[in-house]
Amino acid sequence: MTDTYFRLADALESYKPDSVEIDSCMYCHHVVKTSDHDSECGLHSGIDLELSEQPQNLRNVVNLVIALHRMKKTQKVQSTEFTDDELCNIFLENLVEEYVTPTVHERTHKAADHYNYKGPVQKCYICDEFQKSLVLNKSFTTELQAITLQGNNLSRRVELELSTYKASVPRERGQPIALGVGGNLYLSCTSTSGKPVLGLEMVNKEDLNNISGDMERFLFIKTVSGQTLTSFESAKFEGHYISTSYTNRQRVDMCLTQDAPNRLTSFKMIVL
């Protein structure tokens, strides 16, 4: 195998021939010599440099010479000896390269939603696309019905109290709200036999200032389409909307998105 020689001047543009010279194979034991001394390293009498006899590649040799060149230009020696701390700092400043690894925080699971009362309360009437109004039916159970009203019967309409909330995790669209029908009576969406249903429950208003967990049943996501139509989706059961039947005097209930063609899920709001 023929010997391969390497000129350090080719690796360092600011290299000066009178400072450091390489005159032997990079695989040999005697690698670095100075013009003033025959010792293995005469960079400074306070530093002894020992080179391993293990074969070194070209990158290692170039890195070493560049580091020594940096040290010669940047370090001002005050004495002939370095303390351990000084020597450590010199090598850290000239030999150690800093790498910054960005840390990316990703959501690995869905955080529990939390809602805070934002206010103010807005009073309104709502009716479906067939002009049926919501009426409170107290004959057998506390529920809402959609009924066509005219003249004096309009006084039977339920006056809704709409309270707005701010979600801890911002939603892409829609405004979280609670719908009260007077006093401490509020609309809620609960599961009966595995099916979300709309009901009315008594609850203290103070208990709805901060909503999370099971209390999420009192929240609906109000979404406005166009300029006049509004839909109300359950916050607890996504994809289920407050809806009315095409038939008069039927219960107001929840329906899935795919069932929407058979139900009316868009309403007109009349703000008071």
Residues 248/229, Cβ–Cβ less than 8 Å: no
Model pLDDT for residues 61-93, shown as the tens digit of each residue: 767 777 777 766 655 555 556 676 776 776 666
> What is the C-alpha separation between 228 and 165, in angstroms, rounded?
22
**What pLDDT, on the 0 to 100 scale, is given for residue 155?**
93
Residues 265/222, Cβ–Cβ less than 8 Å: no
> What is the C-alpha separation between 121 and 73, in angstroms, rounded?
73
Residues 244/252, Cβ–Cβ less than 8 Å: yes
**What pLDDT, on the 0 to 100 scale, is given for residue 73?**
61
> What is the C-alpha separation between 242 and 265, in angstroms, rounded?
6
**Most confident stretch, 91-95, 101-105, 139-143, 200-204:** 200-204
Model pLDDT for residues 32-54, shown as the tens digit of each residue: 444 444 444 444 455 555 655 55
Long-range own/partner contacts, residues 8-11 (CB < 8 A, 24 or more apart): 8/61, 8/62, 8/65, 11/61, 11/62, 11/65, 11/66
Q: Which are the contacts of 235, defined by CB distance < 8 A and separation ≥ 6?
A: 113, 115, 176, 216, 219, 220, 221
| Position with higher pLDDT, 82 vs 31 | 82
**What pLDDT, on the 0 to 100 scale, is given for residue 132?**
97
The full set of domains in the chain, from first to last, is: 114-271 (2.80.10.50)
**192 token code pair:** 């009966």
| Position with higher pLDDT, 270 vs 59 | 270
| Position with higher pLDDT, 97 vs 263 | 263
Give the whole-number percent of the chain exceeding pLDDT 70.
62
**What pLDDT, on the 0 to 100 scale, is given for residue 77?**
52
Residue 186 has pLDDT above 80, yes or no: yes
- Mean pLDDT, residues 96-114: 60
Model pLDDT for residues 133-180, shown as the tens digit of each residue: 999 987 766 789 999 999 999 999 999 999 999 998 887 889 999 999
